[in-house]
Amino acid sequence: MDVFDLSFLLSTLWIGPFWVAMLLNPFTEKTKNLLDGYLFFLGPIFFWIIALLFSGSSSFSLELGTDQNFIDSLAALLGTKAGMTATWAHMVAGDIFATRWIWKKAIQTNASKWLRVSSIFFGVMLMPVGVLLITLGSMAEKKKSMLEK
């Protein structure tokens, strides 16, 4: 296992406790304190930096002045272990950041349990789906409560 494999694994494992806390204990003070600062996304950012440092400086240049276009250069970069590891850490950081927003939105709007849990679950697994669920679900629940009044 090299530094890239380890960084990939650790950036993934880092967010697990935060995600599980939002899923299983969304209303506790411990969960609120855990997600109050920056700790929840700093791990993946740290492993992104590690991937950059161990890649060698030439790996992350996109050769903008060459015959190769930007998309081809980016595709070549992502095809390396360093590029994939950095991309993964970037995605994991974004996923947990968005999931924290989903969790806060679910608490603020008093979302139903199914909406809160499914949105938080998909916030990490398929982040755009989680964001879409909480957005559309909150709108639907708000409309339903207005109609009931």
Integer Cα distance of 76 and 11 in angstroms: 23
Asked if residue 131 has pLDDT above 70, the reply is yes
For the chain, what is the domain count?
1
Token digits of residue 60? 């992350």
Residue-wise burial string across 111-142, b where 16 or more C-beta atoms lie within 10 A, e elsewhere = beeebbbbbbbbbbeebeebbebbeebbeeee
Q: Are 99 and 120 in contact (CB under 8 A)?
A: yes
Q: 101 is in which domain, residue-wise?
A: 3-148
Q: How far is CA 111 from CA 6, 26, 98, 108, in A?
A: 37, 12, 17, 8
Model confidence band, residue 63 (pLDDT cutoffs 50, 70, 90): low
3-class SS at 65?
coil
Model confidence band, residue 30 (pLDDT cutoffs 50, 70, 90): very high
3-class SS at 111?
coil
**Residue 89 one-letter amino acid:** A
Q: Please, what is the end-to-end C-alpha distance for the chain in angstroms?
A: 60
Integer Cα distance of 121 and 16 in angstroms: 11
Q: What pLDDT is recorded for position 61?
A: 56
Token digits of residue 116? 């809160």
> Could you give the percent of the chain with pLDDT greater than 70?
91
Q: How many CA atoms lie less than 13 Å away from 128 in the CB half-sphere?
A: 0
Q: What pLDDT is recorded for position 66?
A: 59
- Residue 20 has phi, psi (to 5 degrees) of -65, -40
